[in-house]
Structure 1
C-alpha cells in the first residue's frame, strides 16, 4: 500500500510545473529591449493583493483571478481571454529556467495596476490600491541562473598618478543561490568579533566589515553608529548618512538617512546598514559629506585602508578593499570598477574582506557588524 501511495505522489510531482517546485524566492521583471515588452513571473502575482492563480499543466493554461477580473493565458500562445472576451497579445507567455512569465502590460492594465519605472535602480514599482511592491528588472537574455554567482579578483586602478591594488568581489544579486544578510558580532548590539568568525558562524561565502562603531572605548560595550536592519527588524537607529538596503528580491538601494524612516515604514526593507559617505550617484562621483553630517575636517583628505560597496545597473554588488586611499580617490576607484551607485564603509583597522573560507584582506581588529553573502 505504501508503495502505491509513493508512486501516485511521484507521478503527481512530475506533472506539477517547476514554477511551483523548489524555485528561487527572488522575483524580477524581464524586459525585451527590442520590443520594450516586459514580463512578470506568475509566482509573484499569485497572492499579490488578493490575486489568485491556477495552472493547468496539460495545456499550460494560466488563470489569473481577482474579484470580477479573470484572465486566461497560455504559454507560447498570443491568444488570451479577459472575462471570457478574446484578446490578442502582442507577445506570448513563456517559460525560462522553470519560471513562467506573462506580459506585464496586459496584466497590469486588466488588474488596474500602476507601473512606475525607475531606471536609476533598474526596478519597477507595481502599485494596486494601497499595496505596492518593487521588482528588479533585467534585459531578456541575461540568464542569472547560468552566470557565476560570485567572482573574486585582484585589480589595479589608477587615479591621477597613483595606482591602487584592490581586492574586489562581485556578487550577482539575482542569482537564485545568493542570499544577503547583515549580521552582528555575537548576534548582539555592542559586541565585537573577528570577521572570519562572524562569517563562518553565519555560513557566509563572502563577508565585509559594515558600519562604524566605538572601537576605542575602554568599556566592553562598543556601540555601532547608524541604522542597522536585519530580518526586517530595525536593530539600531541612525542619522543623516547614507543607508545601504536590500529587500527579499535582493533589490539593493542607497537611501539618504533623512529619508530612511519613511522608506522603512513601507515594510519592504529586509536588511541594511548605514555608513557613508556616498561616493557615486547614478554613475557620477558625488561627495557631500556636510549634508550627511560628517564633521571630521580630514574626512576628504586623510588616506588609509578603505572598504566600500557599489551597485551596478545590472544588479551586481561590488565589494572592495584597498589601502592608502582618500575618500575622493575611493570614489574614483568605485567608478572605474563599474559602480553606478556606491558608498564608503568603515575603514582603517576595521577594513576586512573574507571570501571562500579565508581573508583576502585581514582586518586589524575585531568588528561590530558585517554584510554577508551566502551562496546557498
Structure 2
C-alpha cells in the first residue's frame, strides 16, 4: 500500500510541476514571418511575325493597375515622369485630330473622359448607325468590394456587382476573351465591309487580361523590325496569345502607332516606319502599374 501511495504522490507532484510550467509559458505564440509579396514578372517573346512584351501582375499583391489621362496627348515616357509608375501601357482610343477621347475613362469614381463630348465622334454621319455600340464598348474595371480589390472586363453599361464600388474604368475594345466581339461592339460590319481596326491584318497591338486567380496580364505586341511593316499580329491571334498566357477575360486596347510600353526606365514602341524605326506616337490615356 505504501508503494502505491508513493507512486500516486509522485504522479500528483509531476502534474503540478507540468501545470506550473504551462502557466509560465507566454500567452501569445510568435507568428510565422510573412512571406514576401510575389514580384511583377516581365518577359519578351519572339513570335513568328512580331515581338510580344508581357507583364504579369500577381493577384492579391501590393501592385495596382489604374488608369491615367492627359489633357493633351503625351508619350508613355511623359506619363512615367509624371506618375513614377513601374510600368505604363497605352490604353483607350482617341481622335488624333482634336485629341479628344473616344473611350470612357473613370478615375476614383469620377468620369474624366466621355466620348459623348467628342463632337467629331457623335456628329460623324458615317458612324451614326454604330454609335450605340461605340458608346457601350468593353472596359477594364477596378472595383472595391469591402476591403478587397477586384478587376473585371465588361461592357460599359454593365452595373457593378452587388457590394462592390466602381473605382476605375478604362474603355477600349473589343473583348478578346472569352470570345472576340468585333461586330457586337461596332468595329466590324461585314455587310458594309467595314473593319475599323483592320482586325485580320498584322499590326502592333496592346491588350489587358485577367487570369482565373485574378492576376493581371498586360501585353504589347510590337512589329518586328527585321521583317518590316507587314509584321505584327491580327486580333484573333492576339486573343489566342492571351489564352496561352492563362487569361480567361481579355480586351483589346488602342493599337497600331499608339502601342507603347514603359517598364523600369525603358520604353518599347510597337509600330515601325518604312525604315524600321520606332514610331513614337503620343497617347491620350494609359494604364499604370504602381505600388499600392
Under a length normalisation based on structure 1, what TM-score does the superposition of the two structures give?
Answer: 0.54
Whether the 8 Å contact between 1:211 and 1:275 is mirrored in structure 2 is yes
Residue 241 in 1 paired to residue 137 in 2? yes
Determine which structure has greater relative contact order: mean sequence separation of CA pairs < 8 Å that are 6+ residues apart, divided by chain length. Answer: 2
Counterpart of 1:255 in structure 2 is: 154
Residue 202 of structure 1, CA deviation: 0.5
Counterpart Cα distance in 2 of 1:200 and 1:96: 39
* 1:83-140 Cα deviation digits (max 9, x unpaired): xxxxxxxxxxxx7766xxxxxxxxxxxxxxxxxxxxxxxxxxxxxxxxxxxxxxxxxx
- The answer for unaligned runs of 5 or more in structure 2 is 1-25, 116-134, 224-231, 271-278
User: Within 2, Cα distance between the matches of 1:361 and 1:168?
Assistant: 13
Structure 1 pair 375–290 and aligned structure 2 pair: CA distance change class (3 A): same
Match of 1:273 in 2: 170
Shift of residue 336, structure 1, vs aligned partner: 1.4
Deviation sequence 1:175-224 (CA, Å, 0-9, x none):
12x13321112xx3xx2111111122101100000111001x1xxx4111
Counterpart Cα distance in 2 of 1:310 and 1:367: 21
Indicate how the Cα distance of structure 1 residues 250 and 352 shifts in structure 2: closer, same or farther if over 3 A, else same.
farther
Q: Which residue of 2 aligns with 1:171?
A: 57
CA–CA separation in structure 1 for the residues paired with 2:56 and 2:80: 17
CA distance in 1 between counterparts of 2:255 and 2:156 reads 20
Cα distance, 1:307 vs. partner?
0.6
Please state if 1:348 is matched with 2:273: no
Counterpart-to-counterpart distance in 2, 1:264 and 1:207: 28
Distance 1:237 1:165, change over 3 A: same
Which residue does 2:284 correspond to in 1?
368
Contact 1:214 1:223 in 2 (8 A): yes
Q: Secondary structure at the match of 1:154?
A: strand
Q: Matches of 1:310 and 1:338 in 2, distance apart?
A: 9
Structure 2 vs 1, CA of residues 236 and 154 (structure 1 numbering), >3 Å: closer, same or farther? Answer: same
The 1:264–1:275 alpha-carbon spacing in structure 2 relative to 1, beyond 3 Å, is: farther
SS of match in other structure, 2:160: helix
Question: Alpha carbon RMSD of aligned pairs, Å?
Answer: 2.6
- Tell me if the contact between 1:167 and 1:361 (Cα under 8 Å) persists in the aligned partners: no
Stretches of structure 1 that go unaligned for 5 or more consecutive residues are: 1-57, 61-74, 77-94, 99-142
SS at structure 2 position matched to 1:293: coil
- Counterpart contact for 2:86–2:264, Cα < 8 Å: yes
Aligned counterparts of 2:82 and 2:161: Cα–Cα separation in 1: 28
Structure 1 pair 295–268 and aligned structure 2 pair: CA distance change class (3 A): same
Change (3 A) 1:97 1:339: farther
Q: Is the 8 A contact 1:173 1:250 kept in 2?
A: no
Q: What's the secondary structure of 1:245's corresponding residue?
A: strand
- 1:352 CA displacement: 0.3
Tell me what 1:199 maps to.
80
Q: Partner of 2:214 in structure 1?
A: 315
Aligned to 2:4: none
SS at structure 2 position matched to 1:332: helix
